[in-house]
Amino acid sequence: MTYRELYTSQTPFFSGYQTAYEKARYVIIGAPFDVTSTYRTGAKFAPLAIREASLNIETFSFRTGKDIENTKIHDTGDLHTTSDTEETTKRLALVIRDIIEARKMPIIIGGEHTITLGAVKGLSKSENTAVISFDAHLDLRNEYMNLKTSHTTFMRRINETVKPQAIIEIGTRAVCQEEQNYAKKTGIQYITTQQIQKNPTQKSLNQINKALTNTKNIYLSIDMDVLDPAYAPAVQNPEPDGLTTEKFFDLLQGIMDNRIIGIDVVEVAPPYDNGNTAALAAKTVFELICNMEKTRKA
pLDDT tens digits, one per residue of 182-236: 999 999 999 999 999 999 999 999 999 999 998 999 999 999 999 999 999 999 9
Give the other-Cβ count within 10 Å of 132's Cβ.
Answer: 25
Contact between 166 and 130 under an 8 Å Cβ cutoff? The reply is yes
Q: What are phi and psi of 24, to 5 degrees?
A: -75, 150
Q: What is the CATH number of the domain that holds 58?
A: 3.40.800.10
Q: Tell me the residue range of the domain where 220 lies.
A: 3-297
pLDDT tens digits, one per residue of 107-162: 999 999 999 999 999 996 667 999 999 999 999 999 988 889 999 999 999 999 99
pLDDT score recorded for residue 296: 78
Three-state SS at 30: strand
- Tally the domains of the chain: 1
Three-state SS at 1: coil
Burial (CB < 10 A; 0-12, 13-18, 19+), residue 23, is exposed
Query: Is the backbone peptide bond immediately before 187 cis, with ω within 30 degrees of 0?
Result: no
Looking at the predicted structure, is the pLDDT value of residue 9 above 60?
no
pLDDT score recorded for residue 214: 87
pLDDT tens digits, one per residue of 25-45: 999 999 999 999 989 999 999
pLDDT score recorded for residue 127: 77
pLDDT tens digits, one per residue of 79-93: 999 999 999 999 999
List of residues 6+ apart from 193 with CB closer than 8 A = 136, 171, 172, 173, 241, 242, 243
> Over pLDDT 90: what percentage of the chain?
90
pTM (two decimals): 0.94
Residue type, 131: V
